[in-house]
Amino acid sequence: MPALCTSAQRHQSHMQSNDSTPCPSNQPLPKWLISSDHRGWRRLVQNFTPSWFAVTMGTGIVSILLQTLSDLYPRHGSSLRTLGIVFFVVNVLLFGVILLVSILRYALYPATWRLMLRHPVQSLFLGTLPMGFATLMNMFVAICVPAWGGRTVYVAWGMWWVDVVVSVACCLGLPFQMMTKHQTRHETMTAAWLLPIVSCIVAAASGGVVAAALPDPDHAVMTVITSYVLWGMGVPLAMVVLTMYFHRLAIHKLPPSEVIVSVFLPLGPMGQGGYGIMQLGKVAAKVFPQTKTLHPMAGEMLYVLGWLMAMVLWGFGLVWLFFAVASIARSRFPFNMGWWGFTFPIGVFTMATISIAEQLPSAFFRMLGTVLAISVILLWLVVAVGTMKNMVYGNLFEAPCLREMEKRANAVAVSKERQDA
């Protein structure tokens, strides 16, 4: 996850110096660049990176968990549902503000777009945009579609197609950018490489949610098949990255303390992949017979195979959960925006756990899912408080590429002055 506060600036400088040099060197400071000793809204906008969309991912998964718990515990359903709606509204506002500031950044300072894309760390967090949007869409289906009715479900369907386009662009474009533009080294690899890839897995799971609400079976089948394709794009590629990441951990040991929280990110494809394949199987079992798609038993087969595959992914997720907990237990680590990496990966793993509990049914998985859900909500509170506290002190707005450019330009200027002297 991103690291953008005081301690995170050290991490980003570390990543910058080890991974690549995307910013121009030996060039004078551009006139549009606002130096680090200035304050004001323009500097805030200029240093506003895509990693802020991770906040909407974390907030969104909390709203989804509360909505899910309201169905799991009907006695407390009303209060849990109300709290989930509150988080949903807050997330809508957060997403709108973050998107607006991001657009403003690239409109006022177009050069930052190219610099961001060429940065081996910042660019990966473009994948958090469609994932944050997907949490809004899922809650829209759960809350707004039943309440408003009418054509609202097709608004959600349209939102999903937009999310699909952006997710595919991230899943294909950003890894190719790594192959052609970024200069990376194995020893500095982090689990953030998963972010653009997981966006397709999240879109696939969301497709199962949207398809279940569509009244037309043909539209639902179209959505389910597209979602299976998205799942196939994301999960195998995530496994490739996880293989590389395990090798990196085994050879070069754990990441620095500033980015140690990123070890939780592998839970994302495991949890969301498991939940998504189960959700798609449930919908396929319902709509495939209605539309006579494939064999009459095809939907039921996909349902059973989806559950089996979800159990395999859930078990693999347990391995990464152990690695993550054991890693952060070994050392102290400073607060930074990377702490949002606690919420979404554990949250989607929790959703997979609860979904398994509902399908079996199983009291063990139900209790485990409840404990994990409460943990995610408490973690969200801790991270949200830390984020607001550091925002007050202005510690969270620092684009590493821009600061590195400033340092290089200042170094060139000092060197030139010495030569003239």
* DSSP secondary structure, 237-266, as one string: HHHHHHHHHHHHHHHH-SPPGGGGGGGGTT
Whether residue 26 has pLDDT greater than 60: no
CA angle 245, 250, 251 (to 5 degrees): 100
What does the alpha-carbon distance between residue 282 and residue 302 come to, in Å, rounded to a whole number? 8
Res 331: pLDDT: 76
What does the alpha-carbon distance between residue 371 and residue 378 come to, in Å, rounded to a whole number? 11
State the virtual CA torsion across 108, 114, 115, 117 in degrees, nearest 10.
120
What does the alpha-carbon distance between residue 124 and residue 175 come to, in Å, rounded to a whole number? 9
Res 40: pLDDT: 80
Q: Which CATH superfamily is domain 46-398 in?
A: Voltage-dependent anion channel (1.50.10.150)
Res 136: pLDDT: 98
87: left (phi over 0), alpha (psi -120 to 50) or beta: alpha
Q: 3-state secondary structure string, 188-216?
A: HCCHHHHHHHHHHHHHHHHHHHHHHHCCC
Res 27: pLDDT: 56
Classify the C-alpha dihedral 304-307-310-315 as positive or negative: negative
Whether residue 415 has pLDDT greater than 80: no
Res 141: pLDDT: 98
Which residue in 200, 374, 341, 359 sits closest to 263, CA to CA? Answer: 341
Average pLDDT for 129-153: 97
Helices (H), 360-399: 363-392
Res 163: pLDDT: 98
Whether residue 14 has pLDDT greater than 70: no
What does the alpha-carbon distance between residue 192 and residue 189 come to, in Å, rounded to a whole number? 8
Cα dist. 53→57, 170, 335, 397 in Å?
Answer: 7, 14, 18, 14
Whether residue 31 has pLDDT greater than 80: no
With bands split at pLDDT 50, 70 and 90, how would you rate the model's confidence at 402? confident
What does the alpha-carbon distance between residue 373 and residue 289 come to, in Å, rounded to a whole number? 35
Q: What is the pLDDT of residues 154-176, one digit of tens each?
A: 999 999 999 999 999 999 999 99
With bands split at pLDDT 50, 70 and 90, how would you rate the model's confidence at 333? confident
What does the alpha-carbon distance between residue 304 and residue 278 come to, in Å, rounded to a whole number? 8
Whether residue 398 has pLDDT greater than 90: no
278 sits in which H/E element: helix 267-291
Whether residue 348 has pLDDT greater than 90: yes
Q: For residue 364, what are the contacts with CB-CB under 8 A and spacing of at least 6?
A: 357
Q: Which of 74-88, 90-104, 207-221, 388-402 has the lowest mean pLDDT?
A: 388-402
Q: Write down how long the chain is.
A: 421
In this structure, how many other beta carbons lie within 10 angstroms of the beta carbon of residue 315? 11
What does the alpha-carbon distance between residue 236 and residue 72 come to, in Å, rounded to a whole number? 31
What does the alpha-carbon distance between residue 223 and residue 268 come to, in Å, rounded to a whole number? 22
Whether residue 20 has pLDDT greater than 90: no
What does the alpha-carbon distance between residue 93 and residue 87 come to, in Å, rounded to a whole number? 10
Mean pLDDT of the residues in the chain: 89
Helix (H, G, I), strand (E, B) or coil at 360: coil
Whether residue 10 has pLDDT greater than 60: no
State the virtual CA torsion across 316, 357, 223, 83 in degrees, nearest 10.
-110
Res 17: pLDDT: 37
**Cβ proximity of 220 and 151 under 8 Å:** no
- Phi, psi torsion values for 394, nearest 5 degrees: 70, 25
For residue 64, give both structure tokens. Answer: 């989804």
**Cβ proximity of 67 and 143 under 8 Å:** yes
Res 1: pLDDT: 40
Q: Residue type at 76?
A: H
With bands split at pLDDT 50, 70 and 90, how would you rate the model's confidence at 217? very high
Q: What is the pLDDT of residues 258-311, one digit of tens each?
A: 888 899 999 999 999 999 999 999 999 999 999 999 999 999 999 999 999 999
What does the alpha-carbon distance between residue 70 and residue 82 come to, in Å, rounded to a whole number? 9
Res 5: pLDDT: 37
Res 301: pLDDT: 97
**Cβ proximity of 68 and 348 under 8 Å:** no
Average pLDDT for 15-37: 56
Whether residue 29 has pLDDT greater than 80: no
The highest-confidence range among 31-40, 114-123, 138-147, by mean pLDDT, is: 138-147
Cα dist. 99→49, 57, 104 in Å?
Answer: 11, 13, 9
Res 53: pLDDT: 96
Burial class (CB in 10 A: 0-12, 13-18, 19+), 330: exposed
Domain boundaries, the chain: 46-398
Res 212: pLDDT: 97
Average pLDDT for 225-251: 97
Average pLDDT for 333-347: 88
Q: What is the pLDDT of residues 175-188, one digit of tens each?
A: 999 999 988 899 98
What does the alpha-carbon distance between residue 393 and residue 390 come to, in Å, rounded to a whole number? 5
Which residue in 153, 175, 130 sits closest to 272, CA to CA? Answer: 130
What does the alpha-carbon distance between residue 95 and residue 354 come to, in Å, rounded to a whole number? 26
Q: Which of 9-23, 25-39, 134-148, 217-231 has the lowest mean pLDDT?
A: 9-23
